[in-house]
Structure 1
Amino acid sequence: MAKRIILLTNLGSPDSTSVKDVRRYLNEFLMDERVIDVPYLGRLLLVRGIITPFRAPKSAAKYKTIWTGEGSPLIVITHQLAEKVREVAQMPTYVCMRYAHPTPLSAFKKIVAEHPDAEEVVLFPLYPHYAMSSYETAVEYVKEVWQKGRYPFELKIVEPYYDQPDYIEALAASIQPFIEEKKYDHVLFSYHGVPERHIFKRDPTGQHCLKTADCCQVKSPVHATCYRHQVMETTRLVADKLGLTRHSFSVSFQSRLGTDKWLSPATSDELAQFPARGVKNLLVVSPAFVSDCLETLEEIHVEGRETFMEAGGTLYTTVPCLNSNDDWVEAVVKMIKGDS
């Protein structure tokens, strides 16, 4: 049997909470043409001339509130997951990030040095859903580094697993104890947002996405690369697994950037309006993230709580990401081995 290696890839994080490191990270992240998809010169002016100079100090301050003694939560959690996956799969397991460190290049160099007999590297993106600014950019970047390096092993990529039973089971299991513990008025599934133009760009027909209110429910090959459909499907499957009634949960989108039209409704708007609609006790889940990070620990857990409580909410609870939960580890291993 060919010697297989596992490579987990995640978004990435600044090397420290210093403004300099955060600025460097934001420049790399936002200059990605799949994140801000405008021509290079316009993107350069926008990112380095407008966004980063103002955003870096504010982001650095936010990172300081979540930073641990070991470093960035996202990096620490991803390495913890890798350790558990390595143990359960009994396969060498490595980590790389789309932005900052460790890079795919450093991971491939380690694999070659430590396992010169490797025949196949299985890339597992820690993004359940397909989006050009997350799953796609991570996969394409790793592929590019692999192709340039002419490495002696094949690269196999795990497809988005937004509807895979083991992922759904692990996600539902992470939410279940919270539902059993308290009676919530509502469960909000908050996903990372994307501009609507990203959805249009990944619709090869140009005739399906966002053309009708029920486009995500109408069967179509477009769904293979439609972020909106995939998050709606994850939500439906998890809600069914948890036995949630139709009006007891909803979907929203967070982390907007700029003034373009993004997927709606916005999480911040929903949190501000829920109490007036009678939702006083709220449970929030962030399924687009499998590792807790700035967007979950600060934006949702801290800022989101402030918004909801100031609007008149009574109870606000957030569900941690899957992180390195045992059933999530089992799910990852099954999907890598093709058993899911």
Structure 2
Amino acid sequence: MSAPKVQTSASQQGILLVNLGSPKSTSVKDVKTYLDEFLMDERVIDLRWLFRSLLVQGIILQIRPKKSAKAYQSVWTEDGSPLIVFSKQIQKKLQKVVDLPVSLGMRYSEPSIEEGIRQLVNQGINEIILFPLYPQYAMSTTETVTVKAEEVRKKKFPDIKIKYVKPFYHRDIYIEALANSIKKQLPDDFDMLQFSYHGVPERHIYKTDPTHTCNLENCRSDLNFHFNEYCYLNHCYETTRLVRERLNLPENKVIITFQSRLGKDPWLKPYTDITLEHLPKKRVKNLVVVCPAFVSDCLETLEEISEEGQEIFKKAGGETFTYIPCLNDNDEWIQVMKKLCEELY
């Protein structure tokens, strides 16, 4: 590992990587604590506090923790949560190729964003390059990270400055790394490549549209809309288009779906699980799935897609199911992160 850069200027920079987070363990108690913090975030479940509290603490947390704990148990490693393990590996690898100190924080649970900032401040850092590990912008991912970081900064570290790495869903260096990762693991013979993105309620798309002109369909059809800086749906379609073109795949061999919906409100469609059930009926027998909303494998990719999704597909008549892992600590991805951070030096 290279030693952190010794800076002589007034600006002493460091890098803070921020990912979603994970329960401390697979115990029902720890999973419940994690879900409480996660689901009570007003940018995840965007209801008024009273209604959000009644829904989360009165209903969801009475039912979901036991089921989620069992799901976490199926993907938990000897070193802990896959998301935390991969995030630490990313941090370690990035530190080897940059001259700035690199710390790690999670939006929910530990290590917290506050802890990540404090580690850098204790090293004399007064300007932080904060890297939300989400390719596409969404209210429940990028936005909640930046809002939380600013809240912590103002309250605990008012003298530091934070610069943010912007969503990189369309950047050539990221698309190339993602496409190369897919290409290396893409079977020679497959019927369909399914891009499964994390879902969000449809209303989130409207809320993040500063022009108030979005009708969902134009996000899919017109990728040059001037408000696409904040449109998650647009970002998902653009990522898919760019990767498909880089891989030189025909449009009829690629499909976009959205997973992990919660509750009865309309979420982005088509839904991943329903699509997996219907594809074999459309003569899709050999399926490949990739999850580009995540850079690190986690519960939503390893359990929901690779395990549960594969079971749904094969029960419906599918024959082969190939899950392509996230970028994780892929060396090309580490170089992408390095370059994106360097733009803010």
Which TM class, normalised by the smaller chain length?
A: over 0.9
Distance 1:32 1:161 in 2: 24
Query: CA contact under 8 A between 1:13 and 1:25: conserved in structure 2?
Result: yes
Corresponding position of 1:21: 30
Residues 216 and 131 of structure 1: CA distance in aligned 2, closer, same or farther (over 3 Å): farther
Structure 2 distance, partners of 1:159, 1:112, is 22
Residue of structure 2 equivalent to 1:45: 54
Aligned to 2:328: 323
Q: Which runs of 5+ in 2 are unaligned?
A: 1-8
Distance 1:216 1:96, change over 3 A: farther
Counterpart contact for 2:223–2:238, Cα < 8 Å: no
Q: Secondary structure at the match of 1:241?
A: helix
Between stretches 309-318 and 118-127, larger displacement belongs to 118-127
Write out per-residue CA displacement over residues 238-257 of structure 1, whole angstroms, 9 at most, x where no aligned residue.
Answer: 00111111111010000000
2:189 pairs with one of 183, 187, 193: 183
1:159 partner amino acid: K
Aligned equivalent of 2:105, options 74, 96, 118:
96
Correspondent of 2:140 among 119, 133, 137: 133
TM-score (norm 2): 0.95
Corresponding residue for residue 239 of structure 2: 234
Does the CA contact (< 8 Å) of 1:12 and 1:97 recur in 2? yes
Q: Is the 8 A contact 2:40 2:52 kept in 1?
A: yes
Equivalent position SS for 1:221? coil
Q: State whether structure 2 residue 179 is matched by structure 1 residue 172.
A: yes
Aligned-partner residue type, residue 219 of structure 1: N
Could you tell me which amino acid in structure 2 is paired with residue 52 of structure 1?
A: L
Q: What do the CA deviations read for 1:182-212 (whole angstroms, capped 9, x no partner)?
A: 31101000000000000011112222242x4
Aligned-pair CA distance for 1:214: 6.0
**Distance (whole Å) between structure 1 residues aligned to residue 236 and residue 51 of structure 2:** 31
**Distance in 2 (alpha carbons) for counterparts of 1:321 and 1:110:** 27
Deviation at 1:54, TM superposition (A): 0.3
Equivalent of residue 212 in structure 2, options 194, 206, 217: 206
3-state DSSP of counterpart to 2:196: strand
The residue correspondences of 1:1-340 to structure 2 (distance < 5 A) are 1=9, 2-113=11-122, 115-116=123-124, 118-179=125-186, 181-210=187-216, 212=217, 216-217=221-222, 219-338=224-343
Which ranges of structure 1 fall in alignment gaps of 5 or more residues? Answer: none
Deviation at 1:166, TM superposition (A): 1.1
1:78 and 1:143 mapped to 2: Cα distance?
Answer: 22
Contact 1:216 1:223 in 2 (8 A): no
C-alpha distance in structure 2 between counterparts of 1:122 and 1:326, whole Å: 20
Which of 152-161 and 78-87 deviates more? 152-161
Classify 1:276/1:215 alpha carbon distance in 2 versus 1 (closer, same or farther; 3 Å). closer
Deviations 1:273-311 (A, max 9, x none): 000001000000000000000000000000000000000
In the alignment, the residues of structure 1 paired with residue 161 and residue 53 of structure 2 have an alpha-carbon distance, to the nearest angstrom, of 35
Aligned letter for 1:83? K
User: Does the aligned pair in 2 maintain the 1:208–1:215 contact within 8 Å?
Assistant: no
Letter in 1 for 2:328: N
Looking at structure 1, the residues matched to 219 and 265 of structure 2 have their Cα atoms a distance apart, in angstroms, of 23
In 2, distance between residues paired with 1:95 and 1:151? 20
Letter in 2 for 1:266: Y
SS state of the match for residue 148, structure 1?
A: helix
Instruction: Answer yes or no: is the 8 Å Cα contact 1:70–1:76 preserved in 2.
Output: yes
Alignment: residue pair count: 335
Q: How far is the alpha carbon of 1:142 from its aligned partner? A: 1.1
More displaced stretch, 145-154 vs 263-272: 145-154
Offset at 1:105? Answer: 1.3
Percent identity reads 48
TM (norm. structure 1) is 0.96
Question: In 2, distance between residues paired with 1:215 and 1:72?
Answer: 34
Asked if the contact 2:153–2:160 (Cα under 8 Å) also holds between the matched residues in 1, the reply is: no
Of 201-210 and 253-262, deviating more is 201-210
